[in-house]
Structure 1
């Protein structure tokens, strides 16, 4: 603990921690997704309601009177319940599978490790090099960049250090133009 005097007579206490956001295997933490708990909660809720529906469907059919002899009515009812039971979790997974909950960077190897959630809500590790990052030509709703072929979603404003985002996206690479090429282009106009 140390004290810094900010105003005459007023001391401000500051605590420092030894944690540097380093992970021994993955490297330095450069990004943390603020919606990670929300994504996990929504997916868990969707999965749990789908499982509940599967267990309750036979009871509903027996007690509700839908168990009539009409095969067409039964198929329509089962189809509607099955649609919402299976399509909602699959849709949520497709939309959120690329959401990066943590992103680590190893300076010595120039590699990134992205942590996302897989279909069974476990953390999935994707390791890629900066040269594997491709920016989509057309802006996509749930894709910031592609790491190899996997789409990834990050929020650029949540990087504590903007240089980390610039390096990830390749914006820090210098574009060298030959002065002669620029002059030739100007002369053609």
Structure 2
């Protein structure tokens, strides 16, 4: 019930955030909303749940570069030996992307990340830190591939990678992140505005 309540609270915010974005140029992405399933593994924990995220292009343009903000929330659950385990992660990042061509760009983004782990709704640990990503995105014939180096710094500092692959004209997305003891695999539906 706890996860459903959070989903109901987060979804209108994500959708309403994208509704207020104005489209300055024809065929230019202004906002993107994702909602889907996620499998998360952290240390000795692994569970399934959902992930919701929104990306909004900011109205600042410098020759060939775009600025954007991202908000992401994911939660997963597992039950073992009569105990309920919950993992939650929220992230707020700002980024800049330089368009090499209309099919490829490089990006740098950074922001805050919060992770928490609960057992039977009692907090076991929380971690506040930052995340930095440096990567590239390539689009070709309705497909969209993105790969990035990812640095996470909190209780532990780890370097890893993430990648995503969008298909069906950018309507579905598979993503994978592997940084230190943290792995996440997601499948989501996304819409662009």
TM-score with structure 2 setting the length: 0.30
* Bigger Rg over Cα: 1
TM-score with structure 1 setting the length: 0.30
Q: Which has the higher strand share?
A: 2
Q: Which has the higher helix share?
A: 1
